[in-house]
C-alpha cells in the first residue's frame, strides 16, 4: 500500500444526512447524504459540488458507529480534498471533505 493510500481513521459505508454550505456564506445549506464517513472526513454526492480546495461548513448526524455512543449532530469545518465528476452511470459528482475542526452540538 502506498503511503498516500493509508487512512488515518476507519471509514464506515454509512448513509447519514448532512447539510453543507461554503464557509462564511449566508447562502442556504444544501442537503445531502454521505456515501462513507469517519471521524476525520466525509464522502458524499451532490448536484452542486464546491470546488476542490474550498472551505465548507457541514452539519452531520453522526451515528453511534462513529461516536462510540449515541447519535449526535456534529458541526464541522473542512476542506474539499477531491471532487469526482458525474459518473458514467449518471450519479452526481462526489465530494471528499477532510475535517479541520468539529464540535458536537
Nearest to 96 by CA among 52, 60, 59: 52
Domain ranges of the chain: 9-104
What pLDDT is recorded for position 20?
A: 96
Please write the tens of the pLDDT for every residue from 14-69: 899 999 999 999 999 999 999 999 888 999 999 999 999 999 999 999 888 888 88
pTM of the predicted structure, to 2 decimals:
0.85
pLDDT surpassing 50 at residue 84: yes
36-65: b (≥16 Cβ within 10 Å) or e: ebbbbbbbbbbeebbeeeeebbbbbbbbee
What pLDDT is recorded for position 8?
A: 65
Which residue would you say has higher pLDDT here, 48 or 3?
A: 48
Fold of the 9-104 domain? Thrombin, subunit H (2.40.10)
Amino acid at each position: 500500500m502506498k503511503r498516500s493510500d493509508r487512512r488515518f481513521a476507519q471509514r464506515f459505508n454509512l448513509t447519514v444526512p448532512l447539510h453543507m454550505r461554503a464557509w462564511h456564506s449566508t447562502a442556504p445549506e444544501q442537503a445531502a447524504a454521505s456515501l462513507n464517513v469517519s471521524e476525520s472526513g466525509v464522502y458524499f454526492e451532490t448536484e452542486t459540488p464546491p470546488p476542490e480546495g474550498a472551505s465548507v461548513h457541514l452539519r452531520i448526524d453522526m451515528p453511534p458507529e462513529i461516536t462510540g455512543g449515541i447519535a449526535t449532530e456534529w458541526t464541522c469545518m473542512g476542506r474539499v480534498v477531491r471532487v469526482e465528476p458525474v459518473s458514467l452511470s449518471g450519479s452526481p459528482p462526489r465530494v471528499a471533505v477532510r475535517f479541520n475542526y468539529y464540535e458536537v452540538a
